[in-house]
Structure 1
Amino acid sequence: MSPSRNDKDISVTPAPGGPLALSLTPRLAQFASVARHEHVTRAAHELGIPQSSLSRALARLEEDLGVALFARHGRTLSLTPAGRTFLASAERALAAVEQAAEAVRSDADPATGKVAFGFLHTLGWETVPELLRAFRADHPRVRFALVQNYGDAMLERLRAGELDLCLTSPIPDAPDLVTRRLDEQRLRLVVPDDHRLAGRKRVRLAEAAEESFVTFEPGYGMRKILETLCAEAGFTPRIAFEGEEAETIRGLVAAGLGVALLPPPVFPRPGVRELTVTAPRAVREIGLAWQAGRPDSPPVAAFKKFLLGRRGQLLRAEPAHPTPPPPTLEDT
């Protein structure tokens, strides 16, 4: 009988740490100590356990493995060839556990620990470097693992435990995440400097209904905001080009390939005009997100407190008109 289209082949990869590994792991340090001392009594003293308990543990270990690990010579022991082979792997495993323990202790250290922090591309030029500079003034040795990505991808990494905190927009509403609004940022309609609207300071978004838009790819927060604001203005944007980075999009606008809705630039861009959108209210909220129920290490808790303390002060002050229109044209 041939399988139906709904049938699926399922392959199962054994999880690390099967029954034998779970049985052997607690006894690796005991075995290594006896191998080092070649004497059960001295090893038992080092480990702080009764000699009889250690002897029983070694006998059970050899029984589980099915091989003799030690040759007995009265009160002393020596490793068999199988014992030497097993000792090499046991010492590597114990060293790996010690390194892992040291790594997690180091990452949680209040003074020198690590924070895995994600943020949007559009916050990477100035906002995030300034935040880190200000935080490290009081926490100079805290380390950061920085991830710059678009919103949906960052939230996936947050849920996977790869990030401790992230700055994102729009602010997600999800039961598995905790979010706090930190600030908002005015958005501009960016047009080529020879565009029919280039002489204006302010426009309604509906006035761009017939334009082609250059915008971000699906999944980016700014793409969702554009579509939402255009729907409020009564139209669906016609997408001409999609990109991943705000300044690239500005460059495409300067080349005459469309208009764009973007946050203010860090530096004025030649070839474009940045117009205030009066209706609908064109802003994006910037929020801080973290995984619900996940305990914070001391450095993460300190950085979270620092960010929450900067509500309403996260973003730099915007220039009134980064690229002012020609003074001879009437503002309408």
Structure 2
Amino acid sequence: MAHQRSSQRRLSRDSDTEDIVALLAPRLAHFAGVARTEHVTRAAREMNVPQSTLSRALARLEQDLGVDLFARHGRTLSLTPAGHTFLASVERALAEIERAADAVRADADRTTGKVAFGFLHTLGAETVPGLIHAFRADHPRVRFSLVQNYGEAMLERLRAGELDLCLTSPVPDAPDLVGRRLDEQRLRLVVPADHRLAARRRVRLAEAADEPFVTLEPGYGLRRITDAVCEEAGFRPRVAFEGEEAETLRGLVAAGLGVALLPPPAVPRPGVAELTVTAPRAVREIGVAWLAGRTDTPPVAAFKEFLLSRRGRLLP
């Protein structure tokens, strides 16, 4: 019966890899410690574990693998050829685990840790560099991993655990996310410099109802806002081009391809006129989002608190 139980625990060659890892991983450090000292008592003392625990771990490891890793010589041990082969891989695996542990501890360090931060393309020229510069005045050694993308893509990366925080628009309303409004940005009707409306400073959006529009692709927050504001103004925009980046649209407006509803540029662009939209109200909310229920590391908590403290004055 004992032999049968032992055989049942033994791993077959076609065992699932995840099962093998789950079974063997807790015993690898014990094996490496005994292999280093070639003595169970000495290894148990160095590793601060009971000798009986260590002996049982080695016996089970050999049973699970179905091979002898050690040759016993009284109180001392020596590695078998199979043990030497196994040890080389175990030492590499343990070293990799140690490096991974060091990396995640470093990322969570209060003063030198890392924040994985996403933001919209339109916030990359001025807003985000200014925020990071201001934050690092008090946290000079905190590191940032930055991702620039459109809103929905960043929210998916939040859900996947690839980002800690992101600046996005519109502010998400989903049960698995937390969103906080930080500021709002007035959108402008951008027209070519020689356009019939270019000499105006203000315009009702309905006055552009017959114009071709250049817009971002469906799925972008700014595209949804453009469609909604145009609908409120009483028309559906006639789309001449769909792009992925606001400044590209601004260039296409300058080339006469159409008009666009866009946030202010970081630097004024020649060839276009930017008009204040008086009706309907054309704004986009900018907010910060994070995954609900996740515990923040100290650097992430500090940066989140900093962003929330900038409510109403996030944008330059």
TM over 0.5: same fold?
A: yes
User: CA 1:53–1:171 in structure 2 vs 1: closer, same or farther (change >3 Å)?
Assistant: closer
Structure 1 partner of 2:30: 30
Q: Please tell me the residue identity of whatever aligns with 2:77.
A: L
Alpha carbons of structure 1 residues 250 and 18: separation in structure 2 relative to 1, 3 Å: closer
In structure 1, what residue type is equivalent to 2:122?
T
What's the counterpart of residue 72 of structure 1? 72
Give the secondary-structure state (helix, strand or coil) at the position aligned to 1:18. helix
**1:188 is the counterpart of 2:208:** no
Q: Encode CA deviations 1:67-89: one digit per residue, 9 max, x unaligned.
A: 11111222221111000011111
Q: Which moved more, 1:140-149 or 1:64-73?
A: 64-73
The within-5 A match list for 1:143-154 is 143-154=143-154
- Mapping of residues 284-323 of structure 1, within 5 Å: 284-316=284-316
Read off the aligned partner of 2:280 and give its amino acid letter.
P
How far off is 1:15 after superposition? 11
Q: CA deviation at 1:17?
A: 5.7
Counting only pairs closer than 5 Å after superposition, residues 1-332 of structure 1 correspond to structure 2 as 18-316=18-316
| Distance in 2 separating the partners of 1:15 and 1:281 | 63
Q: Distance in 1 between matches of 2:166 and 2:20?
A: 40
Paired residues, number: 303
Describe the shift of the 1:107–1:258 C-alpha distance in structure 2 as closer, same or farther (beyond 3 A): same
Aligned counterparts of 2:102 and 2:188: Cα–Cα separation in 1 = 49
1:230-260 residue CA offsets vs partner (Å, 9 max, x unmatched) = 0100110000011112221111111111000
Aligned partner letter, 2:172: P
User: For structure 1, which runs of at least 5 residues remain unmatched after alignment?
Assistant: 1-13, 317-332
More displaced 10-residue stretch of structure 1: 65-74 or 251-260: 65-74
Q: Which has the higher helix share?
A: 2
TM-score by length of 2: 0.93
Shift of 1:16: 8.0
Question: How large is the Cα RMSD of the aligned pairs?
Answer: 1.4
Give 1:44 deviation, angstroms.
Answer: 1.0
Partner Cα separation in structure 2 for residue 268 and residue 119 of structure 1:
22
Gap change, CA 1:15 and 1:219, over 3 Å in 2: farther
CA distance in 2: counterparts of 1:273 and 1:18, whole angstroms: 61
Give the CA deviation at 1:52.
Answer: 2.6
> What is the deviation of 1:50?
2.4
Helix, strand or coil: the match of 1:227?
helix
1:209 Cα shift?
A: 0.5
Over 3 Å counting, the alpha-carbon distance change for 1:171 and 1:50 in structure 2 is closer
Q: Which residue of 2 aligns with 1:322?
A: none
Find the residue that maps to 1:57 and give its secondary structure: helix
Seen in structure 2, the aligned counterparts of structure 1 residues 163 and 47 have a Cα distance that, compared at 3 Å, is same
5+ residue gaps, structure 2, are 1-13
Measured at CA, do residues 19 and 83 of structure 1 come closer, stay the same or move farther in structure 2, by a change above 3 Å?
same
Give the whole-Å Cα distance in 2 for the aligned partners of 1:60 and 1:311. 59
What is the percentage of aligned positions where both structures have the same residue?
79
SS of residue paired to 1:296: coil
CA spacing shift, 1:177–1:15, aligned 2, 3 Å: farther
Deviations 1:25-79 (A, max 9, x none): 1111111011000111101111222223322221221122111111122222111
